[in-house]
Amino acid sequence: MGQAAVVNDDAPIVVQLSDFGKRYRKHAAVTGVSLAIRRGEIYGLIGPDGAGKSSLMKAVAGVLAFEGGRVEVFGQVIDSEAAAENVKGRLGFMPQGLGLNLYPELSVEENIDFFAELREVPKAMLAARKARLLAMTRLDKFRGRPMKQLSGGMKQKLGLVCTLIHEPELIILDEPTTGVDPVSRRDFWAILTQLLRERGVTALVSTAYLDEAERFARLALLHDGRMLAEGTPEAILNQTPGSLVELAAAPQMVALARLRAHFANAEAVGGRIRVFAPDGQAQAALAEVRALLDGLAVEQATASAPSLEDAFFALLQRQQGEDEEVPMMAGLKDDPPPGDGVAIEARGLVRDFDHFRAVDHVSFTVRQGEIFGLLGANGAGKTTVIKMLTGILPPSGGAGAVAGADMRRAGQAIKERIGYVSQAFSLYQDMTVRENLRLFARIYGVPRQRLDARSGRVVDLAGLGSVCGEIVARLPMGIRQRLALACALVHGPRVLFLDEPTSGVDPIGRRRFWEILVHLARVEQVAILLTTHYMSEAEHCDHLVLMHAGQVIADDTPNALKDALAREAGQVLDIAAEPVLPALEALEQAGFADAALFGRRIHVLAQDVGAAAPRIHTLLEEKGVVAHEIAARTPTLEDVFVHRILERERAEAGR
């Protein structure tokens, strides 16, 4: 097949939903969704857990019955099992979850062969297709490895290979990048781009990562089963006009309080503050923010276009209003520890499992009042480090201390001084909020005479006062996460460990969760160590450590890491060109090996922006491509993560 345009309004409609609705007993999972997906585009469904993405995708794939509206795929109305059978050979569906469509005991190649046989792929074609897909996903060296021994990113790529082995025209991928590291995410998008260019496939992809939204040609923002907005990223941003003001101000919490009194969308991100000023032009927004902060030390104030996350937040607020209780930020501790003390110290930590070294001489320091991020791919050693620091796992070598207690000899003392929120925190679903808090307070040894006072403080801190009598199972994800945090804080710990703390939480829930964390760190001087795959969330950290294969390969502040990458590899050039796929091919042929498709735009790294921009203009003109805009911007933390990991992998391969 020839190249397809990223968005071609004249292309045939592959998927059409009209007033689609799905109910589970009394619960409406999706209500009144209408959209059309054309051949040769990558269409995104964006929203948190419970938004209705999976129900919609399963209905399109023909594996889920629905009650309302109409679904057409390739012109076939999907209204029966027979109708679904008529189109299933032309589509591929990968469900949500790491490797859930795969067989753990089978090897990589055996899984592919099984799906090829299931999809009746001719044996004469299988070898060539398999070799091509394995090379594309960088799995060719792991043909004989059992699926259960693959990392999360490798499982997702194998799932994609099995979905693609019969060369479907439409691929339906439900949260394929959730829970995988940024390198695997970048690989996934490169694969989709290649399929789009070579075969003109149509893709329907869901994600909860709002920083991925700009990669789609068109998208639908979903929340609570309803569509908030639909269209190109630019069209959605036009629905929420305004400017994003970023600045550093001291004291930060005083500045943040002033700004929140006037702007609904203001948050602390690391050492900076981000403010979305609705309906305001850049210079007017800057002037308004500066006026509100009169008398404070304001530095590095800039205004720019808002992100899609800002748009999602504004649209949600427009729909929901301010009904949900806002945390009161009540004091957690009677006597907060001093802000310059060391809370966590890792000194040359080593952990061996038989002949495998999972952690290799890892060292870092976290101070009271610091938000510290531990980043790395699946299998990098992050969880093993946390288990050693919390006394769950003894180290093979090295030493460390947490909250003043030696990690080797004071396991119980450490447990009493820390709070821990895992990705699957064990709240009791059939108990009320109040009952969960009292139970965890007793587990942590809070004296009976202090139960009410301690519970009351964390209820105020987490903004749970209006739901204390509610059964946990009936609460939205964002409130459950705040309850999990409250349970971990009920005994007043000095150190807090968080594992993927906001996975699946909607933007408003995530912002409010981070309001609490910032208060804990800045005001109460609690030390916070967290792991996350959200690169936008890593921006909230004061300090980051990036791990790879058990070792620390980067250790600095977010801004310092981005500045170092800009010096070494250059800035990111954001290119708007039409038609975009020939533009991408021209850039790759010209030596821009890291060129990546982002919806209707292309990103490349350029060491010398002044020389690269005119060169790219000329190059694209020679190929008959119009370059509408070439703008430079600072690399993101995802750029840092991918560059550092690939740099280390290349060094290891060259040994």
**DSSP secondary structure letters along 134-193:** HHHTT-GGGTTSBGGGS-HHHHHHHHHHHHHTT--SEEEEESTTTTS-HHHHHHHHHHHH
What pLDDT, on a 0 to 100 scale, did the predictor assign at position 655? 60
Task: Give pLDDT, residue 213.
Answer: 86
Q: Are 112 and 162 in contact (CB under 8 A)?
A: yes
Using alpha carbons, select from 307, 171, 612, 533 the residue that is nearest to residue 595.
Answer: 612
Percent of the chain at pLDDT exceeding 70: 95
Reported pTM? 0.86
Flag whether pLDDT at 426 surpasses 90.
Answer: no
Query: What is the rounded distance in angstroms from the CA atom of residue 230 to the CA atom of residue 218?
Result: 7
246 membership: H or E segment, kind and range: strand 242-250
Q: How far apart are CA 402 and CA 95, in angstroms?
A: 40
pLDDT at 650: 78
Identity (one letter) of the amino acid at 115?
F
Domains of the chain with CATH codes: 13-235 (3.40.50.300), 241-305 (3.30.70), 342-558 (3.40.50.300), 562-653 (3.30.70)
Cis peptide before 501 (omega within 30 of 0): no
Residue 76: φ, ψ to 5°: -95, 125
Confidence of residue 194 (pLDDT cuts 50, 70, 90): confident
Residue 520 has pLDDT above 70, yes or no: yes
Structure confidence at residue 7 (pLDDT): 55
* Predicted confidence (pLDDT) at residue 226 exceeds the cutoff of 90: yes
At 552, is the secondary structure helix, strand, or coil?
strand
Looking at per-residue confidence, does 504 or 461 come out higher?
Answer: 461
Q: Which tokens go with 181? A: 């590291």
- Our measurement of the distance from residue 641's CA atom to the centroid of its chain's CA atoms, rounded to an integer in Å, reads 13
Nearest CA among 312, 336, 327 for reference residue 481: 327
pLDDT average, residue stretch 414-419: 84
CA dihedral over 248, 252, 254, 258, signed as positive or negative: positive
* Spatial distance between the Cα atoms of 382 and 377, rounded to a whole number of angstroms: 9
Does the pLDDT at position 334 exceed 50? no
pLDDT-based confidence at residue 57 (cuts at 50, 70, 90) = very high
What is the rounded average pLDDT of the residues 322-342?
54
CA–CA dist 452, 441 (Å, integer) = 10
Report the pLDDT averaged over residues 587-597.
86
Percent of the chain residues topping a pLDDT of 90: 55
